[in-house]
Amino acid sequence: MRYLLLSCVAGLLFGQGTGTKPKVDDYLVHGQTKSVAIGAEFMVHSYSLGEQMFLAKDFLVVEVALFPPKGTTYEVTNAEFSLRINGKKELLDAVAPAVVVADMQHPEFKAPRDGVGLEAGGGIGGVGASVGGPPVNSNPFPGSRQPQPPPPVEIPRDNPSGVKKEPVNPNEVLLQTALVEGPHHAPTSGFLYFPFRAKTSSIKSLELIYQDAVLKLK
């Protein structure tokens, strides 16, 4: 409970949504309600900030953009958004980003491995050991020191330059890029999350419902 409250506070402090495109027509799917124009893009499970992309595997993610008439104010709430899958009557309602973060913080436990074996040539209690032969004395001359090779220099594949980058927290990105609830006076956009644990291959049709608008995402 305490974690959820902290997450809600974080969302209020850092929530800013995504970069809104100039026009509603710039979104793959767009429509019009009585009060605002709406654009949307189905992101499957992904959300992003700049070049960084992350997955919310147990949620369907939709980026939504709202464009009101100039000089008007409109209210945004997650509860107004829902998804219809394969034409079913039951709808999926959008959930608060704090709920998504809490779900990601408590993933299901993975099954343990069947067994763990000793690797050939491994050390036991500081004594060298090998498989398939007599014990090998790594230092045949007592009192002498064997020269040690320098440790290999590891070059990360994702950062060959070696320049350290600040780590990006996926939970913070999720809170920052979620659609910001509350009153708005200008166009705004952000990600919405809908709980979904089935395979996405089962989705034959997908519709986003907002007020009196129905947008066919798939």
Instruction: Evaluate whether residue 185 is within a structural domain.
Output: yes
- Identify the CATH number of the domain in which residue 93 sits: 2.60.40
Instruction: Evaluate whether residue 158 is within a structural domain.
Output: no
3-state SS of the chain is CHHHHHHHHHHHHHCCCCCCCCCHHHCCEEEECCCCEEEEEEEECEEEECCEEEECCCEEEEEEEEECCCCCCEEECHHHEEEEECCCCCEEECECHHHHHHHHHCCCCCCCCCCCCCCCCCEECCEECCCCCCCCCCCCCCCCCCCCCCCCCCCCCCCCCCCCCCCCCHHHHHHHHECCCEEECCCEEEEEEEECCCCHHHCCCEEEEECCEEEECC
Instruction: Evaluate whether residue 122 is within a structural domain.
Output: no
Instruction: Evaluate whether residue 42 is within a structural domain.
Output: yes
pLDDT in tens, the chain (218 residues): 444 444 444 444 456 899 999 999 999 999 999 999 999 999 999 999 988 899 999 999 999 999 999 999 999 999 999 999 999 999 999 999 999 999 988 875 434 434 333 334 443 344 444 445 555 555 555 555 655 666 666 666 766 665 566 678 999 999 999 999 999 999 999 999 999 999 999 999 999 999 999 999 99
Its domain, for residue 33, covers 2-106+169-216
Q: What's the domain count of the chain?
A: 1
